[in-house]
A and B are shown apart, each in its own frame.
Chain A
Amino acid sequence: SAVISQKPSRDICQRGTSLTIQCQVDSQVTMMFWYRQQPGQSLTLIATANQGSEATYESGFVIDKFPISRPNLTFSTLTVSNMSPEDSSIYLCSVALTGSYTFGSGTRLTVV
């Protein structure tokens, strides 16, 4: 299975600012996935990051708020823009490789 390095592990940010979260995978993968886990809740898929094309966003998530980059097959970033306290969540990236599913360790974001 793949190994994912996700950074930062946590951050406290001021409202109105932006945070970029990075995920590095040790294998080449076609698709990477970004999830949000709000406090006490389950995971919700934000978007699918495809290399060489724009990300595909799920209902309720928009590119202006969560821009995603996918410059190559092993790396992706998710930016949380113009943050508000409602964006306080854990953000996780994920990949699936040969039937094995792997998640990053998560970024715990607190917006104050």
Chain B
Amino acid sequence: SQQGEEDPQALSIQEGENATMNCSYKTSINNLQWYRQNSGRGLVHLILIRSNEREKHSGRLRVTLDTSKKSSSLLITASRAADTASYFCATDLSSNTGKLIFGQGTTLQVKP
């Protein structure tokens, strides 16, 4: 069964605006990751945040993790049309085994 729930399921914004996606999970984790997928193609790894970290940045991406609430958020600032994609959170439950449990995903559309 899916570990993560994501909201919103779909998000449509104008270019230049910020996009925030949320992910909740059920059990303790070793780390949480965010991925992007364009039009059903392969997954692109965006960012990994470990269970002992609270915030992480990578370029226009900002990820937060609240282990007490079992939730994470992905913020994309100054969005671009090229950011249009599906975004998934995924949790690695223990010791970086590589076995990931994915959330349902958020479909982001950035209008030019």
| Residues of A near any B CB (own CB < 8 A) | 31, 33, 35, 37, 41-45, 48, 59, 90, 92, 94-96, 99-106, 108
Contact = CB atoms under 8 A, between A and B. Distances in A.
B105 A105 contact: no
Interface stretch (B41-49, B55-63, B65-73, B75-83): B41-49
Given A99-B96, A101-B33, A42 B102 contact: yes
Nearest to B90: A43
B42 A99 contact: no
A48 B93 CA distance: 14
A6 to B, nearest CB: 8
Interface of A is mostly: strand
Interface residues of B, number: 23
28 contacts: A31-B98, A33-B98, A33-B100, A35-B102, A37-B40, A41-B104, A42-B88, A42-B104, A43-B88, A43-B100, A43-B102, A44-B2, A44-B102, A94-B100, A95-B98, A96-B92, A96-B98, A99-B48, A99-B96, A101-B33, A103-B42, A103-B43, A103-B45, A105-B41, A106-B40, A106-B41, A106-B42, A108-B40
Contacts of A33: 98-100
A90 B100 contact: no
B40 A45 contact: no
B99 A45 contact: yes
